[in-house]
């Protein structure tokens, strides 16, 4: 606060009435210093001799003498140095203070008002401080402050304000005019001090510039409160700039010390420079206010795999400084900035095995911290569920951090009408935890809900499943009927009255039956569809129902053998049954483990024939048609064959017939043994031998063996001794017969 006033040339004579007819001396140069006052005059001009200072209208008689010591310099100038016995600090006077001068030509002395000459201007002026707008005392230091002043009246340029009053008693010898004190009333802006009563010399000054000590963001009211000082009390004189943008309607809320700025056009986070002008007086240094990003919500990530965190809020991106990258910390861990748009910020967290709940969030733009609204915190492993859908027979639930659903969660599938609840215990979570899937349960109706309850809060996800069907009865190879169970039907009466259609590959579509329930409380609808001729497994069918279609596979019913017949003369063996197909290349026949397929002579769907299988014994026949096996093999019997009729002494009265297939039951194939035309008693039979007790006692015995009505073999046998039946059994166990 130093003001040096160096030589101001003013022509006073134009403004002042001359008291004397003589022209006042006109120094060619002056030099004013703290303790030196020097005038230079043209040697031929009049020159100063002494000062007489006035206290208002009266000369100060108490003042010690003074004089101007004038000498002619080498340049032929008259150099006058002021000498005063009164200290310079006591040189005070009023507008009426006078200077005496001597005219060179006449040597007469005259006087004139000091103010009409080049009088010393205030020199080395300094101020103790700028006055606060609330007013206060200031001390002004300098020299020649009061030579032609009030003396106690200090003029200024503030409108409608009385001159300031210099404190103290000028008459008091100890009063120092080089350090004066005035009380400045409340005010604002720039003004001038005039140290002389004619306002010739002015020193520009001002009220103290506005100071900002703190700022408070009150975004709820959309204002920023600025605390400080020197704001005065006139709202119309205040100008607030945020980053050079003037803020409309600033308001003084506490006189001098508090103002409110509207948050006009503040969209960016980070520090904002505040510049305030009060009646033209600018704040000396610009403060800054932190405009915080506002965090309203945050997503979670898996502690195992980390990932992208999305922060929602406002002011999460600086439009004016697009390269300003925020520093984000979550639970003390850095979250690497990825991108942000105005209300969304995305960053990436590394996995953090220890996880954690309710961790603090920090988002800093250029050092400016964020506001976390509603105490939002971050927790790892909070599952988020987005939606559920059905794809390829699986229910897919999409979301984030779904692995954590393994704990404290219940997944339920509820039917459209709430009558069915299926708890899902088995599900798979994708490695990135973004989806979980489980097998679509079989449901009668198309619409159902996946109900996921996490920590007691259910999420109900509506799902629509496409129509599906499964085969409940396989069709026979010819004129078959495919009976299907329908799942995920539109459980609406008039939709169910429509007729499903079925296609097989490129076949024209065929009508199925109207879906029906087998019993009134059946879980599913069924429909019967005609099936084309065929054999084998994994055939395609496509069911069309209510503008949906569903493709699935079906297999033909397995071959079934019902009975076998022989042609007349037993030349051919024919096996009867169903689902045999009509292709020799597709049927395989095993008889007692041997593949006899190559011996088939003819085949149609219901029967196939062989040439008589004389070399075979009774046994299991099983067939495979187009890789479909019979469900259970069929025991097939062949006509018996008799090899020999034997007698044995030890087996008294017992005849043995050896052959094969001797147990074959058919009437026409029954083995009958007569002894001398009389019946015998069968005592044991197996496929290979038949033991009969003969009742005749006449020897020799003409033994005849018949198959059915045909006599196959006869033999005369000598009869020796009849043993008891008990003995016979005893004997055969010894294998004697
Ligand atoms: C002083 O005044 C005289 C008469 O007016 C003039 O001739 C002379 O040039 C002046 N000297 C200087 C140094 O101005
Ligand atoms: C006036 O000044 C001269 C030169 O500086 C000096 O020699 C002389 O003593 C001074 N006279 C008085 C009365 O102070
Ligand atoms: C003004 O002068 C007084 C007395 O000499 C001194 O104590 C004070 O420090 C000065 N103040 C300034 C602002 O120069
Ligand atoms: C001012 O000081 C003078 C000299 O000490 C004294 O006579 C006078 O009464 C004082 N005036 C006031 C108003 O104190
Ligand atoms: C203060 O802000 C104003 C306007 O907002 C600007 O003109 C000035 O250069 C700034 N001053 C400093 C020191 O930053
Ligand atoms: C603030 O200043 C104005 C104008 O001087 C005045 O009317 C008002 O009462 C003041 N308010 C306070 C709280 O001092
Ligand atoms: C589940 O998420 C994994 C990983 O993102 C993805 O490869 C897979 O296709 C998703 N599964 C489904 C059915 O959307
Ligand atoms: C969802 O499941 C929870 C837990 O099993 C159960 O309490 C709730 O009633 C279910 N909500 C619906 C709409 O089925
Ligand atoms: C299959 O159905 C057709 C048409 O109804 C019929 O002519 C034919 O005899 C049937 N075939 C068999 C083996 O039932
Ligand atoms: C049956 O469907 C499968 C796809 O499910 C397809 O690859 C195959 O070619 C189809 N077979 C026929 C005979 O149409
Ligand atoms: C049919 O016979 C073959 C050959 O002995 C055997 O491999 C197959 O398992 C049998 N099938 C059935 C259903 O017994
Ligand atoms: C045994 O009886 C059969 C049938 O009666 C007859 O054909 C056969 O010649 C008889 N054999 C003997 C040796 O008599």
Q: What's the rounded Cα separation, in Å, for the pair 249 and 238?
A: 9
For position 667, what pLDDT does the model report?
87
**Most informative mutation of 42, 46, 47, 75 for ligand 1 (most atoms within 8 A of CB):** 42
How far is the centre of ligand 9, averaged over its atoms, from the C-alpha of 534 (Å)? 14
Rounded distance from Cα 433 to ligand 7 centre (Å): 9
Count of CB atoms situated within 10 Å of the CB of 320: 10
As a whole number of angstroms, the distance between CA 680 and CA 391 comes to 76
Distance separating alpha carbons of residues 270 and 292, to the nearest angstrom: 6
Superfamily per CATH, domain 641-719: Immunoglobulins (2.60.40.10)
Q: Report the candidate in 49, 52, 61, 39 with the shortest Cα–Cα distance to residue 107.
A: 49
The alpha carbon of 604 and the centre of ligand 9 are apart by a number of angstroms equal to 14
pLDDT at 732: 46
The domain 468-554 is placed in CATH, from the list 2.60.40.2440, 1.10.240.10, 2.60.120.620, 3.10.150.10, at: 2.60.40.2440
Per the listing, tokens 């402050």 go with: 145
Query: What pLDDT, on a 0 to 100 scale, did the predictor assign at position 651?
Result: 57
**Which of 479, 577, 582, 606 to mutate for ligand 9's pocket (most ligand atoms within 8 Å of CB)?**
479
Sequence-distant (6+) residues with CB within 8 A of 540 are 504, 505, 551, 552, 553
d(CA 468, CA 124): 103
Mutate to test the pocket of ligand 3, among 142, 179, 180, 203 (most ligand atoms within 8 A of CB): 179
Is residue 422 within 6 Å of ligand 8 at its C-beta?
A: no
Encoded tokens for 433: 């935890």
Which ligand places an atom closest to the C-alpha of 188? 6
- Cα 225 to middle of ligand 5, angstroms: 20
Whose alpha carbon is nearest atom 1 of ligand 11?
622
CB of 646 closer than 6 angstroms to any ligand 8 atom: no
CATH code linked to domain 560-636 = 2.60.40.10
The residue contributing the CA closest to ligand 10 atom 14 is: 505
Question: So what's the pLDDT on residue 472?
Answer: 95
The CATH number of 211-291, from 3.30.2320.50, 2.60.40.10, 3.40.50.300, 3.30.1330.10, is 2.60.40.10
Fold held by 384-464: Immunoglobulin-like (2.60.40)
> Which H or E run includes 399?
strand 394-400
* Span from the CA of 728 to the centroid of ligand 4 (angstroms): 173
Q: Which of 48, 69, 78 is the pocket-test mutation for ligand 2 (most atoms within 8 Å of CB)?
A: 69
Q: Is-contact 657 673, C-beta < 8 A?
A: yes
Mean pLDDT by groups of 10 residues along the chain of 737 residues = 40 38 81 87 93 94 94 93 93 93 90 90 93 97 90 94 95 94 96 93 95 88 92 95 89 95 83 93 90 93 93 92 94 95 92 94 94 93 93 94 88 88 94 94 92 92 94 96 95 91 94 92 93 96 95 96 88 93 95 92 94 85 95 92 79 83 89 90 91 79 90 82 52 42
Going by alpha carbons, the residue nearest to atom 1 of ligand 1 is: 42
Q: What whole-number distance in Å separates Cα of residue 512 and Cα of residue 527?
A: 6
First to last CA, the chain: 150
What does the buried/exposed string (b/e) look like for 462-494 if buried means 16 or more CB atoms within 10 Å of the residue's CB?
Answer: ebebebbbebeebbbbbebebbbbbbbbbbeee
Phi and psi at 12, nearest 5°, equal -75, -30
CA distances from 499 to 186, 464, 510, 521, 585 (A): 96, 21, 10, 21, 38
Residue 332: CB atoms within 10 Å: 10
pTM above 0.75, yes or no: no
Query: Where are the chain's structural domains?
Result: 1-202, 211-291, 294-380, 384-464, 468-554, 560-636, 641-719
- Rounded distance from Cα 238 to ligand 5 centre (Å): 16
At 12 the pLDDT is 36
Closest-CA residue, ligand 9 atom 5, reads 479
408 CA distance to ligand 8 centroid (A)?
Answer: 14
Residue 684 burial by Cβ neighbours in a 10 Å radius (0-12, 13-18, 19+): middle
The CATH superfamily assigned to 294-380 is Immunoglobulins (2.60.40.10)
């Amino acid at each position: 606060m130093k003001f040096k006033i160096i030589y101001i040339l003013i022509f006073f004579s134009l403004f002042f009435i001359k008291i004397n007819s003589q022209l006042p001396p006109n120094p060619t140069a002056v030099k004013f210093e703290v303790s030196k006052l020097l005038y230079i005059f043209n040697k031929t001009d009049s020159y100063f001799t002494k000062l007489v200072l006035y206290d208002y209208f009266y000369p100060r008689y108490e003042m010690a003498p003074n004089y101007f010591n004038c000498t002619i310099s080498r340049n032929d100038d008259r150099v006058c140095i002021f000498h005063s016995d009164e200290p310079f600090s006591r040189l005070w006077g009023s507008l009426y203070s006078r200077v005496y001068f001597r005219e060179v030509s006449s040597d007469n002395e005259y006087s004139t008002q000091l103010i009409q000459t080049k009088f010393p201007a205030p020199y080395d002026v300094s101020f103790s401080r700028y006055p606060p707008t609330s007013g206060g005392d200031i001390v002004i230091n300098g020299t020649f402050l009061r030579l032609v002043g009030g003396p106690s009246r200090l003029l200024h340029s503030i409108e409608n304000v009385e001159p300031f009053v210099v404190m103290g008693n000028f008459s008091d010898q100890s009063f120092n005019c080089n350090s004066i004190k005035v009380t400045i009333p409340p005010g604002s802006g720039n003004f001038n001090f005039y140290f002389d009563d004619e306002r010739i010399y002015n020193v520009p000054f001002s009220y103290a510039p506005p100071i900002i000590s703190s700022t408070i963001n009150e975004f709820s009211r959309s204002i920023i409160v600025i605390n400080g000082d020197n704001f005065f009390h006139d709202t119309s004189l205040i100008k607030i700039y945020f980053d050079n943008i003037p803020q409309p309607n600033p308001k003084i809320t506490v006189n001098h010390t508090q103002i409110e700025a509207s948050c006009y056009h503040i969209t960016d986070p980070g520090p904002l420079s505040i510049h305030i002008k009060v009646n033209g007086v600018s704040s000396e240094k610009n403060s800054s206010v932190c405009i915080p990003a506002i965090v309203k919500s945050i997503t979670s990530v898996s502690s195992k795999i980390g990932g992208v965190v999305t922060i929602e809020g406002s002011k999460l991106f600086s439009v004016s400084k697009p390269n300003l990258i925020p520093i984000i910390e979550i639970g003390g861990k850095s979250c690497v900035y990825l991108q942000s748009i105005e209300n969304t910020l995305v960053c990436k967290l590394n996995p953090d095995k220890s996880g954690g709940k309710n961790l603090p969030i920090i988002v800093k733009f250029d050092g400016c911290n964020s506001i976390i609204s509603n105490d939002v915190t971050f927790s790892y492993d909070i599952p988020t569920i987005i939606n559920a859908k059905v794809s390829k027979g699986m229910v897919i639930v999409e979301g984030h951090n779904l692995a954590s659903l393994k704990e404290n969660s219940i997944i339920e599938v509820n039917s459209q009408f709430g009558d069915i609840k299926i708890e899902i215990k088995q599900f798979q979570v994708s490695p990135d935890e973004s989806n979980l899937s489980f097998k679509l349960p079989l449901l009668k109706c198309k619409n159902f809900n996946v109900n996921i309850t996490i920590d007691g809060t259910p999420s109900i996800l509506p799902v629509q499943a496409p129509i599906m069907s499964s085969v409940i009865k396989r069709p026979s190879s010819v004129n078959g009927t495919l009976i299907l169970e329908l799942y995920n039907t539109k459980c609406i009466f008039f939709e169910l009255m429509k007729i499903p259609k079925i296609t097989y590959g490129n076949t024209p579509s065929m009508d199925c039956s109207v879906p029906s329930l087998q019993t009134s409380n059946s879980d599913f609808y069924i429909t019967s569809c005609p099936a084309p001729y065929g054999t084998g497994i994994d055939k395609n069918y496509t069911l069309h129902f209510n503008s949906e279609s569903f493709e699935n596979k079906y297999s033909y019913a397995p071959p079934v053998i019902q009975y076998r017949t022989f042609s007349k003369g037993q030349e051919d063996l024919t096996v009867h049954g169903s689902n045999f197909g009509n292709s020799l290349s597709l049927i395989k026949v095993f008889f007692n483990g041997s593949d006899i397929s190559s011996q088939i002579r003819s085949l149609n769907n219901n029967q196939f024939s062989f040439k008589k299988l004389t070399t075979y014994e009774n046994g299991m026949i099983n067939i495979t048609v187009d890789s479909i096996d019979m469900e259970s093999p069929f025991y097939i019997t062949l006509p018996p064959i008799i090899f020999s009729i034997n007698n044995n002494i030890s087996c008294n009265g017992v005849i043995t017939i050896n052959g094969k297939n001797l147990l074959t039951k058919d009437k026409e194939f029954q083995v009958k043994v007569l002894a001398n035309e009389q019946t015998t008693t069968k005592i044991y039979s197996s496929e290979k031998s038949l033991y009969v007790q003969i009742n005749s006692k006449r020897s020799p015995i003409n033994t005849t063996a018949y198959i059915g009505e045909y006599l196959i073999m006869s033999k005369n046998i000598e009869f020796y001794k009849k043993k008891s039946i008990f003995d016979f059994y005893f004997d055969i166990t010894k294998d004697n017969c």
